[in-house]
Structure 1
Amino acid sequence: MKKSQDKLTRRKLLKTLSSLPVVGGLVGTGLLTPQMMHAAVETPASRNFFKELGLRTFINAAGTYTSMTGSLMSDNVLSAITFGATEYVDLDELQDKVGERIAELLECEYATVTSGAFGAMSIGMAGVLCGMDTSKVSQLPDTTGLKNEVILQEAHNIGYSQALTNVGGKLVRVKTAKELEKAINKNTAMLWFLNANTEEGEIKREEFVAVGKKHGIPTFIDCAADVPPVENLFKFTKMGFDLVAFSGGKGIRGPQSAGLLLGKRKHIEAARLHTPPRGTTIGRGMKVNKEEVLGMLAAVETYLQKDHDAEWKLWESQIKLISDSALSVKGVKTEIHVPPHANHVPSLRITWDENVVKITAEDARKKLKDGHPSIATVGNKDTIGITTWMMVPGQERIVAQRVKEVLENA
């Protein structure tokens, strides 16, 4: 076998692979050595799949939006994903070990890799509803006989709270701490907090946690887009929240379809009862494959090792470069700001006097998107919004030049 294997050249291998549905067709057969696997996964990268499919790529000057496919993963993450595709492993055992490792890294009681922050909220809610009672797991979303009420602030009730109702949670909205206390009853299952809307709610995080502890009710905080700063990965479990959800494919730069559920072991182990490989559960469709689990572990490790101060200074210099370029056009004003919660990165707002710069913000953004290269931004009818943290270093110069050109030539 070895002699014939040695004769399997890279060219012959790729010819063979082209007739197979996936590279995995040779893994485990002895035909695909680690060196050959490297060659096999390396070659497709030379193909421009997006071009073949007629898709246009763009410079991401907007941020970590799902519609824009989130973030770009690091080489460490990509290597972990590629490694994960080379062998079989028990999925539960992998989640157990990775959960322990991530919990150790983030100094919390337990953790699990989930199908995004939304998935983390859904299985976390399901775990709270059913606990470790396996007879109740297949009952959801029917919550007959179960505590199912979730109290949240009215200002925190955005679309993502559907992650809770999808599995049977019933939302109870309050405005004040007094209303929160009054709303708690025998059917209250959980208190849920949206960190992105911290400033919009009257009840702050510490008070929210204190009320939950007073009544013995689990508290859950959604921190999907709240990295950076890196401290947030530790902050909320230490603050006392029983469950914390993060997106994996935003600032942590893990797989876009992955996320993290951190917190109390009893709640996370209960949440895991609703996930694959178990079948008759409400979380069966929220599968996280072994490649994503390893990718998320590598993403957390890589993110913790970053020089966050240096990265912040880079973002500031990039934003200033674009701001200065825009300000060189008569009639233009800029504002550099940092959102207090969620997407907490140096950001830029560009506005102008349309009597001087004769183009609307919407048309200017369209020109940036339709130009070469295409540049995706955010904003509204009055502004262009730009961030640089999802750019490849160097792209900020292209963005600075194009913004100036669009405004100057209007």
Structure 2
Amino acid sequence: MQTEGISRRAILGGGAATAGALTLGPLLGNTAVAADNATPAGAAAAQAAKTDYAAIGVRPLINGRGTFTVLSGSLMLPEVRNAIDKAAREYVQLDELADAIGKRLGELTQSEFGLVSSGCSAALGHAAAACVAGGNPDLHVQLPDLTGFRKTEAIIPRHSRNVYEAAISATGLKVVEVDTREELKAALGPQTALVYIMAMPRVDASELDTRTICDIAHAANVPVLVDAAAEILTIPNVHLERGADLVAYSGGKALRGPQSAGILLGREDLVRAAWVHSAPHHGWARGFKVGKEEAMGMLAAVEMWVQRDHEAEYATWTSWLKTISRRVSVVDGVSSEILQPEGLSNRTPSLRILWNAAKLGVAGQTIVDTLYNGAPRIAINAASSGGQTGLSITPYMLEPSNEKTIADEVVKLLKNPPAAPEPPKPPTVDATGTWALKITYAAGTSTAHELKLSQDGARITGTHSGEFVSRPATGSVSGATVSVRSRYGEEHGDSLDYTFTGTVDGDGFSGDLSLGEYLGASFTATRQS
């Protein structure tokens, strides 16, 4: 079946003829759960539930960024919460449950079989293990030690290198990078366990698009795994139709299932083997446990996916963005535009708000930071275009009335901007030299890092070396304050982001270290003679 050029309804609704016939019936019970907060008792319980975070000092937020895991993904549907609650009230045998859910997921998604995992990353790991060892327990218990194994390599095209491929290499596989058809053909052999693709628009615009990869890999009897974590679930599945053998999704993003769940779909023999390589079975993946609650909750999310009115949801998101757009338009010099998405990932519209920073006296990032640290706490993104600064808002994770709150707070800050960051001062120190670092992480310390810096006026260049790798460093100087950043990007299959900000005093340099996703740290450094 042709998938390019199909309509939004065909992509999102998928299998309209079957969707109308599917019901949650025995899976979710006959209780109406969509209006679970309709009664006074229900509303009181919902309000009480919302106070639990505050009781332990955690501040909830309004999510206008999207389905980011660090922001706890998406909110589970009421039907999913109900399925989890019902599943928690009885015991089952997990192998039997996996078999029944696998068949049902296959029916719902028009694939051969399905598996619920503890997130998309776990699904990728289980799939890789299945491609290495099949369903053979004697081989399974040896992972990730591949000594004596025939299949020891995973091929990843350069366009698909990313931090999530760690799930593939965790099985012991060596990653082999390719960039052309000829390189792919040359790399394939009896040692190749699989080819891994990260689903994104640039893949199918490249020489190594999904169809091409699948054709070449299948000629060598090598399966292809697609990571579609952030994508909508297409039915029939666009990746399987293009030739992929397996495709994995996050459960806590577009599907609005449990954040700690994901699904793997595709060839029944490989998906069943992937189950062998998951808990409750032992071995390397025992820690990736899926309880009966997450399993049934994830199934409920897929059941709901084929019943949800995706067109109506999209219209609602667009209406929220129009509300914000109308409200910010009252501020002179502010423009806004609703942008439509490309591809299938995080398939929602977004709103871009732009203005001249000099005229309004505030940058987009300053407003982003103020909203995130304010009350109510609001998470949105900074944006820029054509020399203008601004904001970007994604509506998928918003709840009704959030759009009005965001609009009110943004307009307030545009009309009465927060204080701008202090402008840079002329340098009063010279940070040139080799600096031996001591880093105190949130847990543990390291003395193996080194900065080699050169200063030209207020500009810093150099290198940052650590336990893992040496990478370029850049930075700036303001008075006696020096800021130096190094980044090792996803194009290598890893991601490390270090920003050292501190004061130089003679041959000493100390301050705070921002590590991106790895929390904060502090450092001291001594300039070497």
Scaled by the length of structure 1, the TM-score of the pair is 0.85
Deviations 1:199-222 (A, max 9, x none): 674311111111122221100100
Structure 1 residues 319 and 123: alpha-carbon distance in aligned structure 2, compared to 1, 3 A threshold? same
The structure, 1 or 2, with the larger RCO (C-alpha pairs under 8 Å, 6+ apart) is 1
Q: Shift of residue 236 of structure 1?
A: 1.8
| 2:141 equivalent to 1:138 | yes
Check the 8 A contact 1:58/1:375 in 2, yes or no.
yes
| 2:405 equivalent to 1:398 | yes
Structure 1 residues 143 and 383: alpha-carbon distance in aligned structure 2, compared to 1, 3 A threshold? farther
Residue identity matched to 2:175: L
Structure 2 residue matching 1:192: 3-state secondary structure: strand
Q: Shift of residue 397 of structure 1?
A: 1.5
Structure 1 residue matching 2:237: 3-state secondary structure: helix
Partner Cα separation in structure 2 for residue 224 and residue 245 of structure 1: 6
Correspondence for 1:204? 209
Check the 8 A contact 2:73/2:252 in 1, yes or no.
yes
Partner Cα separation in structure 2 for residue 194 and residue 339 of structure 1: 18
Check the 8 A contact 1:226/1:232 in 2, yes or no.
no
| 2:212 equivalent to 1:181 | no
Partner Cα separation in structure 2 for residue 398 and residue 198 of structure 1: 38
Q: 1:378 aligns with which of 381, 390, 405?
A: 381
Deviations 1:128-150 (A, max 9, x none): 10012211101111112221211
- Which structure carries more strand by proportion? 2
Higher mean displacement: 52-61 or 256-265: 52-61
| 2:149 equivalent to 1:123 | no
Q: Shift of residue 50 of structure 1?
A: 0.7
Correspondence for 2:197? 193
Higher mean displacement: 140-149 or 92-101: 140-149
- The root-mean-square deviation of aligned C-alpha atoms, in Å, is 2.0
Partner Cα separation in structure 1 for residue 135 and residue 76 of structure 2: 35
| 2:64 equivalent to 1:58 | no
Equivalent pairs: percent with the same residue?
A: 37
Check the 8 A contact 1:175/1:201 in 2, yes or no.
no
Check the 8 A contact 1:63/1:70 in 2, yes or no.
yes
- Give unpaired runs (5+ residues) of structure 1: 1-38
Structure 1 residue matching 2:359: 3-state secondary structure: coil
Higher mean displacement: 295-304 or 377-386: 377-386
Structure 1 residues 139 and 102: alpha-carbon distance in aligned structure 2, compared to 1, 3 A threshold? same
Q: Shift of residue 309 of structure 1?
A: 1.0
Correspondence for 2:152? 148
Correspondence for 1:85? 88
Check the 8 A contact 1:156/1:200 in 2, yes or no.
no
Q: Shift of residue 306 of structure 1?
A: 0.7
Structure 2 residue matching 1:286: 3-state secondary structure: coil
Q: Shift of residue 247 of structure 1?
A: 0.2
Scaled by the length of structure 2, the TM-score of the pair is 0.67
| 2:290 equivalent to 1:285 | no
Question: Which of the two has higher C-alpha Rg?
Answer: 2
Deviations 1:135-169 (A, max 9, x none): 11011111122212111111210101111011112
- Give unpaired runs (5+ residues) of structure 2: 1-40, 418-529
Q: 1:302 aligns with which of 292, 301, 304?
A: 304
Partner Cα separation in structure 2 for residue 384 and residue 198 of structure 1: 28
Partner Cα separation in structure 2 for residue 140 and residue 69 of structure 1: 31
Check the 8 A contact 2:110/2:235 in 1, yes or no.
no
Correspondence for 1:257? 260
Q: Shift of residue 178 of structure 1?
A: 1.9
Structure 2 residue matching 1:198: 3-state secondary structure: coil
Structure 1 residues 301 and 204: alpha-carbon distance in aligned structure 2, compared to 1, 3 A threshold? same
Q: Shift of residue 44 of structure 1?
A: 8.9
Correspondence for 2:341? 339
Deviations 1:282-332 (A, max 9, x none): 110000000000000111111210111111111112122222323332222
Q: Shift of residue 389 of structure 1?
A: 1.1
Q: Shift of residue 126 of structure 1?
A: 0.5
- Which structure carries more helix by proportion? 1
| 2:281 equivalent to 1:274 | no
Check the 8 A contact 1:330/1:356 in 2, yes or no.
no
Residue identity matched to 2:405: I
